Amino acid sequence: MRRILTIASLLLLAVCLGACRPVDMLNALTPGSGYRLTASLPYGEDERQELDVYRPENPRADPAPVVVFFYGGSWNSGDRADYRFVGQQLAAEGFVTVIPDYRLYPSVRFPAFLEDGAAALRWTQDRIASHGGDPNRIFLMGHSAGAYNAMMLGLDRRYASAAGFDAAKLCGIVGLAGPYDFAFDTDLLQGVFGTARDRAEALPITYAGNSSPPVLLLTGDADETVDPANSVRLERRLSAAGAPVRRLDYRGLDHVDVVLQFSSFWTADSAMRGAAIDFLSRCPGDLDRASGSASR
């Protein structure tokens, strides 16, 4: 079977070379079995306020724990369909998985994309039971700018609360290579966050406290897009506040590699994915507070 997939991937690569994105090839090779995809469910009135739900054929529990995944893209790009490989892999592990789109810059600025995320959480709380999910066991997860969104929604609970989401239902947050403590030092960042009253208001690290839910921070030491020091500083702040947090840094992984760890086709056996699945399997998370490092 692996040989057949390898041949198929080479053929698809030959067709795609210069004509499609790597994620298109990856999604084309992502298994369509093992889960039921319900696509384009509205959680708001805007065309960007839609989400997809991946329901596992073999759930981890009945009802199954739920993961709401936010993709990255610098808050100005991205599409939920590009992350079918993530939805498939998490569903294969037995989790009902929700992947929402959200409004993007320059159509909106901070905090509109967080308000969208909060609305998607409220939708999940109210409707995920009909998709086999447990509304009392919800995790947030995100990559890059999506990790920022997930962390802000989990640590600064004002947005979720305003949307009517019950914070007691939040089991934990997984951040993949996220920016949590950064300077607004580019034209893009100044545009996205120019509506913030001050820098601190828009940073997840500001809201780290002893009431924070369990947090797992995953980074690659070859990441040149988002400095892994963001995760180091957030871990220190959470730990100092007495909040449950764990950070794992994986040698040789760059910014894109980190999210590709959640493709079973790309990485058949991933230590990073295993750590995330272990975290997502417990509510509340039972984490030690020690930092760690690991090899791919």
Concatenate the DSSP letters of all residues of 48-106 into one string.
T-EEEEEEESS-SSSSEEEEEEE--STTT---GGGGHHHHHHHHHTT-EEEEE----TT
| Confidence (pLDDT) at 296 | 42
Length of the chain: 296
Using the structure block, give the residue that is written with the tokens 């073999």.
Answer: 58
| Confidence (pLDDT) at 231 | 98
Percentage of the residues of the chain whose pLDDT score is greater than 70: 88
Three-state DSSP state, 252: coil
| Confidence (pLDDT) at 4 | 37
Alpha-carbon distances, residue 95 vs 21, 22, 195, 277 (angstroms): 27, 25, 36, 9
Low-confidence ranges of the chain (pLDDT < 50): 1-18, 285-293, 295-296
Neighbours of 168 (CB within 10 A): 8
**138-158 residue pLDDT tens:** 999 999 999 999 999 999 999
Q: Are strands 96-100 and 50-56 parallel, antiparallel or unpaired?
A: antiparallel
| Confidence (pLDDT) at 82 | 96
| Confidence (pLDDT) at 284 | 78
Under 8 Å between Cβ of 178 and 140: no
The secondary structure element, H or E, covering residue 233 is helix 229-241
| Confidence (pLDDT) at 293 | 47
